[in-house]
Chains A and B, each alone.
Chain A
Amino acid sequence: MALTGDFLMQGVQMFLVLAVAPALTGLVRKIKARLLLHKGPSILQPYRDLARLMRKDVLLAHNASWLFRVAPYVIFAAIWIAAALTPTFATGLMFNWTADLVAIVALLALARFALALAGMDIGTPFGGLGSSREMMVSALAEPAMLMIVFSTALLAGTTQLSQIAAHLASQPFVLRASMGLALIALIIVSLAENARIPVDNPSTHLELTMIHEAMVLEYSGRHLALIEAAAALKLVFYFSLITCLFFPYGIATPPMGLAAQFLGMGLWLVKMTLLAALLAVGEVSVSKMRLFRVAEFLGGALVLGLIAMVLLFVSGKM
């Protein structure tokens, strides 16, 4: 019985993130539009976009290889699993032991590897440009991310995300220098990894500034739908990660009743909304950086992560 319950909860989580993801992207867009005094499309617009793209035929370049056609599924699957293994409304997920936070970061790296290769498959200069820039950004963002992982893992004594969340949620709130630094670093990394301002502009198609869009320029139809869905899922993943590492309060921990789970789910949705609002406010109030300033920006995250880890190595409590 308990097993079925766990299995069910993992399933609910898996499809919850998938269902919420487009709405979250829509919400960010809506708030951004409102802040700029536009009316903005409906929050549900991303669902319609995805449905429309799914129905359209795929137009492939003549020399597209099998890798180009397989990559969207790999990207989507890897990011979906990463998002599904991150606790949203409850800890103690059934499969959380399969992949710890290091493995989840590596799953995102797998998705990025596939995307960057797909960008180079057609052989247009744009694709190569996007791949090259994306890998430069990630080469700095991924180590910063691992430093954040290590910092939280040192506090909780494990790299299993579910247990880190449960551990942190059970502790009374303490201000820690290391966690503060790690939070700033994680926000920087999230902005970079989700192709957000000031690193990349998700709504631009201007050649000189784009990173992510340049790689997916050749995608169309269902392939593009999967890549867009994966991008939306990635945003949910990073939001969930921020809440479960830094604000896990209210998350349902076993043994839990149905009420606690619903409370956790409600709180999670509130947290997601708040973060979406913060992201939108951030995006309208800063401008995009030059590409090589991004390296310094992410280098900052890397150093913050390192300082956080050194603090924990030296004192264990700071």
Chain B
Amino acid sequence: MTALHTMLAGALLLLLIALPSLAWRPAASFRKVYGATMAVSLVLLAVASASLAGGIAQTLVLPMGLVGTGVHLRLDALSSFFLIVVNLGGAITSLYALGYGAHETRQRRVLPFFPSFLAAMNLVVLADDAYSFLVAWEMMSLTSWALVISSREKETPRAGLVYFVMASFSAIMLLFAFGILAGSAGGYAFDTIRAHPISAWWMGAIVLTLVLLGAGSKAGLFPLHVWLPLAHPTAPSHVSALMSGVMTKVAIYGAIRILFDLAAPAIAWWWAAPVLAVAGITALMGVLYALMQHDLKRLLAYHTVENIGIIFIGLGLALAFRASGMTAAAAVALTAALLHVLNHSLFKSLLFLGAGAVLHATGERDIDHLGGLIHKMPLTAFFFLAGSAAISALPPLNGFVSEWLTFQSILVSPQLDQASLKFLIPVIGITLALAAALAATCFVKAFGVTFLGHARSDAAREARETDRFSLTAMALLALACLVIGLVPDITTHLLQPAIHLLTGGTLPAPGHGPAPLSLTPFANGRSSYNGMIIFIFLLLSGGLTAWAVHRFGSHAVARGDAWDCGTPGLNPRAQYTAASFSQPIRRVFGTHFFSAREEVDMPPPGDTRPASIRVRLSDPAWQIIFTPLLRLLHLVVERINLLQRLTIRRFLALVFIWVVILLMVVAAWH
């Protein structure tokens, strides 16, 4: 049995796990379902890892699916890498759900769809023809949609509706993209498409646009991200982790597969411009949106938008370098993008799982009602802190490595010839730097308001640490974030089969740098980074200082009241909240991007009514694009609605006229 057979069998097994969960009594069966899902995911993870290291592409054709085409499956380096991301996320969220699932009140609405969601994501990555790709893609959308609407919250109906519409939109766009790629010859197997590549520049332009719309909306590119902050937070937390951490990555797989593989012969330098522009805007807008939030899970969902932007910056740079024949630089940019795919899947899952633990312990997603949880949930707090530091790109954790690589590839881009890119790329660089700094701000806010200070509500005061399964899952993810940050040269080296497949270049082999474990992106370059030594330095100098201070200075600790400016009885509600923390940023950026307005009502001295401040923000994506679009749609639908009220005779007449028109068109065609 080959690796591909195992992968396929595993995916089908996941579907089978879904079936009996319908029959079992949910309360008793959730452990069986999640346990089985975790076991299968672990096997698939092992197979995918072995296959990435082995690096030989395997294919399989099944006699089903589209007539004359069949179902093609393929396991190459790229799909192996994404299968690792999918199944790693699947295994860890299943582990978490072994504990967290006990709190689920509507098991029947979650249990069947969780394993089938995972199966669908596996199948998307395995598919090697347009038909099975789209079927699996739709299955992924539908199962995750079912999971989103499983919750019973106020915004669930709206989240479900918006997600459904956007998911259909993305599938239609990809359908068209495959149509163009297949050409008039109509070969929908990816091998046929590779054998008959598109050549005209305008075909390339259309495919690029459709991919940015189709895969981009699924991944969360601005302004098509609108469904994401609605749908991701609404789902149960382990599903949120899977959707934000993994499903967006499957969308990125779709984009990479089409742009870098199927449409590769048509790649031109100007492809990079729209990709980079959209990516830069997405990164900046995502983090600014996140800063304005006080719902923990929605904040995390907006950060997914930001990180998708960062990944697409890497992809855009890789396109530019590849088109200009700079294979080494393309390899670095693509390594940065793929490493960030892996990194983001780890720390975003970690953060969503932490948010889930908080949500379960307090029943609150609004961080303005939390606070002081570091005392009640010390381990969850620690792991959430690790995730926050990782996503804020702080050394020595993993987020910094992928961002560092992106910066390194920006620094070689003056060698590109195109003047427009020379102006665009520095702007993208500054956007990326700004997004990274703002992300740190946002996570100081998220962690500080949620876990530090005093509890702002009874729910937060009475919180309890979460269960062991959840803690183990979070610990594993935090550990992975640290390890990738410590040995970046090894992790990037493991990605190289996929990088070589897509760019023809690779990073220098490990051991090339000035010392063991140094990451050197360019063989002839002189820049290097060594996370391990930085970590050791931090431990040594911090430890040495602590020892010296305690040995030669004082080591006593006394407890006292906090300084209250002479007015005793500090009220926990006087603490900084999410809104007050981000007020300076809102003043600096919000007025431009969200037309933020503050209405302050300050009663005059002597008046005892409470003062109030009301902040109004408007969402540019809805305001500029979606609301006018919906209004237009509404108008059109109202007109068409008239047709529904026709009599039978008139319907028949319409049908007749339509058939005649079609026949005339066909006749004219020939």
Interface residues of A (CB under 8 A from B): 54-63, 65-67, 73-74, 76-78, 80-81, 95, 97-100, 102-103, 106-107, 109-110, 112-113, 116-117, 120-129, 131-133, 135-136, 138-143, 146-147, 150, 153-154, 157-160, 163, 207, 217-218, 221-222, 225-226, 291-292, 295, 302, 305-306, 309-310, 312-314, 316
- The stretch that binds A, out of B54-62, B92-100, B292-300, B583-591, is B583-591
B615 to nearest A CB, angstroms? 15
B511 within 8 A of A: no
A135 to nearest B CB, angstroms? 4
> Quick check: A123 and B454 within 8 Å, CB to CB?
yes
* Distance between Cα atoms of A305 and B431 in the complex (Å): 12
Count of chain B residues with Cβ under 8 Å from any Cβ of A? 90
> Quick check: B452 and A117 within 8 Å, CB to CB?
yes
Interface residues of B (CB under 8 A from A): 371-372, 374-375, 378, 385, 389, 392-395, 400, 404, 407-408, 410-411, 413-414, 419, 422-423, 425-427, 429-430, 433-434, 436-438, 440-441, 443-445, 447-449, 452-454, 513-515, 518, 525-530, 533-534, 537-538, 541-542, 545-546, 549-550, 552-565, 570, 572, 574-576, 580-585, 587-588
* Distance between Cα atoms of A155 and B632 in the complex (Å): 53
Please pick, from A98, A139, A153, the residue contacting B434 in the complex, using a CB distance under 8 A.
A139
> Quick check: A123 and B562 within 8 Å, CB to CB?
yes
> Quick check: A77 and B542 within 8 Å, CB to CB?
yes
> Quick check: A123 and B581 within 8 Å, CB to CB?
no
Residue of A129, A139, A222 with highest tally of chain B CB at under 10 A: A139
> Quick check: B558 and A58 within 8 Å, CB to CB?
yes
* Distance between Cα atoms of A73 and B392 in the complex (Å): 20
> Quick check: A135 and B444 within 8 Å, CB to CB?
yes
Please pick, from A67, A98, A122, A125, the residue contacting B533 in the complex, using a CB distance under 8 A.
A98
Chain A residues near B408 (CB-CB < 8 A): 159
Instruction: Name the residue on B nearest A302 (C-beta).
Output: B430
Known contacts A120-B576, A309-B429: A150-B410 contact under CB 8 Å: yes
Chain B residues near A61 (CB-CB < 8 A): 559-562
> Quick check: B558 and A60 within 8 Å, CB to CB?
yes
A-B contact pairs, 10 of them (CB 8 A): A54-B554, A67-B452, A81-B541, A100-B529, A106-B394, A122-B453, A128-B576, A147-B426, A150-B411, A313-B414
Chain A residues near B541 (CB-CB < 8 A): 76-77, 80-81
Residue of B408, B427, B429, B587 with highest tally of chain A CB at under 10 A: B429
Please pick, from A63, A141, A222, the residue contacting B553 in the complex, using a CB distance under 8 A.
A222
Known: A100-B529, A103-B404. 11 other contacts (CB 8 A): A100-B528, A110-B389, A117-B447, A132-B582, A132-B583, A135-B444, A142-B436, A218-B562, A310-B422, A310-B426, A316-B414
A296 to nearest B CB, angstroms? 9
Chain B residues near A63 (CB-CB < 8 A): 372, 375, 453-454, 562
> Quick check: A102 and B404 within 8 Å, CB to CB?
yes
Known contacts A77-B542, A131-B448: A98-B562 contact under CB 8 Å: no
> Quick check: A102 and B407 within 8 Å, CB to CB?
yes
Chain A residues near B422 (CB-CB < 8 A): 310, 313-314
> Quick check: B448 and A109 within 8 Å, CB to CB?
no
> Quick check: A139 and B438 within 8 Å, CB to CB?
yes
A211 to nearest B CB, angstroms? 10
* Distance between Cα atoms of A42 and B441 in the complex (Å): 38
Please pick, from B394, B404, B554, the residue contacting A221 in the complex, using a CB distance under 8 A.
B554
Instruction: Name the residue on B nearest A14 (C-beta).
Output: B541
> Quick check: B538 and A77 within 8 Å, CB to CB?
yes
> Quick check: A55 and B553 within 8 Å, CB to CB?
yes
Where chain A touches its partner, the secondary structure class is: helix
* Distance between Cα atoms of A60 and B582 in the complex (Å): 27
A64 to nearest B CB, angstroms? 8
Chain B residues near A107 (CB-CB < 8 A): 395, 534
Instruction: Name the residue on B nearest A121 (C-beta).
Output: B452
Chain B residues near A125 (CB-CB < 8 A): 574-576
Instruction: Name the residue on A nearest B564 (C-beta).
Output: A124
Instruction: Name the residue on A nearest B539 (C-beta).
Output: A77
> Quick check: B444 and A120 within 8 Å, CB to CB?
yes
Chain B residues near A78 (CB-CB < 8 A): 538
The 3 closest A-B pairs by CB, nearest first: A128-B576, A123-B453, A54-B553
* Distance between Cα atoms of A217 and B563 in the complex (Å): 8
B321 to nearest A CB, angstroms? 15
> Quick check: A157 and B526 within 8 Å, CB to CB?
yes
> Quick check: A124 and B562 within 8 Å, CB to CB?
yes
* Distance between Cα atoms of A78 and B545 in the complex (Å): 12
* Distance between Cα atoms of A8 and B200 in the complex (Å): 63
> Quick check: B448 and A57 within 8 Å, CB to CB?
no
* Distance between Cα atoms of A128 and B583 in the complex (Å): 11
Chain B residues near A225 (CB-CB < 8 A): 549, 553
Chain A residues near B558 (CB-CB < 8 A): 57-60
Chain A residues near B552 (CB-CB < 8 A): 54
* Distance between Cα atoms of A39 and B418 in the complex (Å): 60
> Quick check: B423 and A121 within 8 Å, CB to CB?
no
Chain A residues near B426 (CB-CB < 8 A): 147, 150, 306, 309-310, 313
Chain A residues near B430 (CB-CB < 8 A): 143, 146-147, 302, 305-306, 309
> Quick check: A54 and B549 within 8 Å, CB to CB?
yes
> Quick check: A132 and B576 within 8 Å, CB to CB?
yes
* Distance between Cα atoms of A80 and B546 in the complex (Å): 13
B100 to nearest A CB, angstroms? 25
* Distance between Cα atoms of A131 and B446 in the complex (Å): 12
B275 to nearest A CB, angstroms? 18
A298 to nearest B CB, angstroms? 9
Chain B residues near A123 (CB-CB < 8 A): 371-372, 452-454, 562, 570, 572, 575
Known contacts A97-B513, A97-B518, A159-B408: A74-B542 contact under CB 8 Å: yes
* Distance between Cα atoms of A135 and B389 in the complex (Å): 14
Instruction: Name the residue on B nearest A310 (C-beta).
Output: B426
Known contacts A58-B554, A103-B400, A128-B448: A153-B375 contact under CB 8 Å: no
Chain B residues near A218 (CB-CB < 8 A): 562-563
> Quick check: B560 and A160 within 8 Å, CB to CB?
no
Known contacts A54-B554, A113-B392, A313-B425: A222-B411 contact under CB 8 Å: no
Chain B residues near A65 (CB-CB < 8 A): 374-375, 452
Known contacts A65-B452, A81-B537, A123-B570: A147-B429 contact under CB 8 Å: yes
> Quick check: A124 and B444 within 8 Å, CB to CB?
no
> Quick check: B533 and A95 within 8 Å, CB to CB?
yes
* Distance between Cα atoms of A11 and B16 in the complex (Å): 62
Residue of A63, A74, A98, A116 with highest tally of chain B CB at under 10 A: A98
> Quick check: A154 and B588 within 8 Å, CB to CB?
no
> Quick check: B584 and A113 within 8 Å, CB to CB?
no
Please pick, from B419, B423, B528, the residue contacting A97 in the complex, using a CB distance under 8 A.
B528
Chain A residues near B394 (CB-CB < 8 A): 106, 109-110, 113
> Quick check: A113 and B570 within 8 Å, CB to CB?
no
Please pick, from A98, A131, A142, A316, the residue contacting B534 in the complex, using a CB distance under 8 A.
A98
Known contacts A73-B546, A132-B580: A142-B437 contact under CB 8 Å: yes
* Distance between Cα atoms of A55 and B374 in the complex (Å): 29
> Quick check: A146 and B452 within 8 Å, CB to CB?
no
> Quick check: B559 and A100 within 8 Å, CB to CB?
no
Known contacts A65-B452, A117-B444, A153-B411: A97-B375 contact under CB 8 Å: no
> Quick check: A129 and B576 within 8 Å, CB to CB?
yes
Chain B residues near A147 (CB-CB < 8 A): 426, 429-430, 433
Chain A residues near B440 (CB-CB < 8 A): 109, 112-113, 135, 138-139, 142
B532 to nearest A CB, angstroms? 9
> Quick check: B572 and A97 within 8 Å, CB to CB?
no
Chain A residues near B584 (CB-CB < 8 A): 132-133, 136, 291-292, 295
Please pick, from B419, B436, B441, the residue contacting A314 in the complex, using a CB distance under 8 A.
B419
Instruction: Name the residue on B nearest A70 (C-beta).
Output: B542
Instruction: Name the residue on A nearest B375 (C-beta).
Output: A65
B508 to nearest A CB, angstroms? 14
* Distance between Cα atoms of A62 and B453 in the complex (Å): 11
Please pick, from B395, B526, B563, B565, the residue contacting A110 in the complex, using a CB distance under 8 A.
B395
